[in-house]
Chains A and B, each alone.
With several copies, the nearest count.
Chain A
Amino acid sequence: MDKALPDLATAVAGIDDGMTVMIGGFGGSGAPIELIHALIDRFLATGHPKDLTVVNNNAGNGHVGLAALIEAGMVRKLICSFPRSADPVVFTEAYRAGAIELELVPQGTLAERIRAGGAGIPAFYTPTSFGTDLAQGKPVAEFEGRPYVQERWLKADVALVKAHLGDRLGNLSYRMAGRNFNPLMCMAAARTIVQVSQIVEPGGIDPEAVVTPGIFVQGVVEVPNPAQEEDLNLAGAVYPEAAA
């Protein structure tokens, strides 16, 4: 078994129009910038994929990564908790123009819905959002005298994930708070594609410190020294550069 992929173009080859794509990261930490840019490259070359539904905590920052994906016109709908950032101009303009649909989900509910999708739990109850606009239309039930909102699982066709180390079996470790949504999205997607800073031999990650066991991963591509979204934005980067 060898889940290693030769390059980024191969890694994003199977993503089709209309798919739901989970993209890891919280702001820039743990964001798979290179995978996203490879997907944009494919769209610019072929016109596909488009009409994507993207799941991410945020809505991109500046003109790289997720913001660039939106700016390229590939995203029909965004499911996120916090579509604000230091420079949210791309999403904000698309949203105000009615060019992108937004499903706003409380952050903990978003995380739990994704985990539920990966764990085979079609629905669960949470106190979060009870009595608020974000609970509208959702079933409510009382347990032990307290009201709860029923939330549904969230699954994806593909997850694009950033990890630190990976092996050919798909075992992964992360780097600090770059972990965030990434391990959950690995669980919830039919096909999980991971960029790692280094591919190591099986056993190269301590079995006690494997965060994502390989069963949740379908492909691993090595991207040494990956870009950080914040560094790109501080430098005023735009992707693709030609669009600047």
Chain B
Amino acid sequence: MKLTPIKLNPSQMAWRAAQDIADGAYVNLGIGFPEMVAKFQPPGREAIFHTENGILGFGAAPAPGEEDWDLINAGKKAVTLKPGTAFFHHADSFAMVRGGHLDVAILGAYEVAETGDLANWSTGPKGVPAVGGAMDLVHGAKQVAVLTDHVTKDGKPKLVQRCTLPLTGVACVTRIYSSLAVIDVSGGRFVLREKLAGLSLDDLQALTGATLHLDGPVADLIVPEL
């Protein structure tokens, strides 16, 4: 480890999120950055990964050229079998999701509100809308975490008082792993848990679109170089 960087890269955000996943947890990782969380499971812990298209307990990506296109995840990327993998159809898969059987779902976000509202499926009426399993995943998982840059590419806050983009779900997000901080969403408030050591609370607040509340000490957000 070296000096804390200005902001975490996606691998580092994924690493941080992975530290909170308990041994034996059932986890669904959203398409994109959240998929990287699987790579950073701490030694000695065995999480079981669920994918919407009907696999529980799949393994890592196969070597190039070894893909079997009947063995893919929700992002249509090839995965592998592990001892104890199970296959099932889509209705059973979403019974797992909607029925509250997942421990953690980790998703990307366009905006997260202090109310826990999430917007991550549509940037508005332009373009082709696509929702996939996001609206199902935000209901049912015991923890719905978001993995996201703290601000947009234009530097605007992604953590806001109220979402302006079309919602994925209402009052559903419980924790945010951002590129600058770890924040719980609780009782309609953002509660700061960890922040980069090189970043003052005032600077972090300035990059956040709603008030950051404190509830006990704020730890340094420390991650390895990745």
Contact = CB atoms under 8 A, between A and B. Distances in A.
- Complex: A in contact with B (CB within 8 Å): yes
A132 B95 contact: no
B89 interface: yes
B105 to A, nearest CB: 12
B184 to A, nearest CB: 21
B133 interface: yes
The residue in B88, B93, B95 that gathers the most chain A C-beta atoms within 10 A of its C-beta is B95
B108 interface: no
Contacts of A96: 128
B88 A83 contact: no
B70 interface: yes
Interface string A201-231: 1110001101101111000000000001111
Contact of A29 (B46, B72, B135): B72
B84 A177 contact: no
Contacts of A91: 128
A183 interface: yes
Contacts of B225: none
Interface in B84-121: 84-102, 117
A162 to B, nearest CB: 10
Contacts of B41: none
Interface residues of A, number: 74
B139 A215 contact: no
A118 B68 contact: no
Size band of the interface chain B makes with A: 35 or more
Contacts of A191: none
A71 interface: no
Interface string A168-182: 010100111111111
Contact of A214 (B68, B84, B92): B84
A115 B48 contact: no
A24 B53 CA distance: 12
Given A95-B128, A214-B56, A231-B69, A108 B98 contact: yes
Contacts of A177: 51, 53-55, 70-72, 87
Contact of A176 (B26, B68, B99): B68
A96 to B, nearest CB: 8
A91 to B, nearest CB: 7
A18 B60 CA distance: 43
Contacts of B87: 174, 176-177, 179, 207-208, 210
A91 B129 CA distance: 12
B136 A108 contact: yes
Interface string B116-153: 01000010000011111111100110000000000000
B91 A111 contact: yes
Interface string A94-115: 0110000010111111111011
Given A81-B131, A119-B98, A128 B50 contact: no
A82 interface: yes
Interface in A57-112: 57, 81-86, 88, 91-92, 95-96, 102, 104-112
A53 B201 CA distance: 53
29 contacts: A26-B76, A27-B76, A29-B71, A29-B72, A81-B131, A102-B129, A106-B132, A106-B134, A107-B132, A108-B52, A111-B89, A121-B98, A127-B140, A128-B135, A130-B170, A131-B117, A174-B87, A175-B70, A176-B87, A180-B54, A181-B90, A187-B99, A201-B83, A202-B83, A210-B88, A213-B56, A213-B86, A215-B56, A215-B96
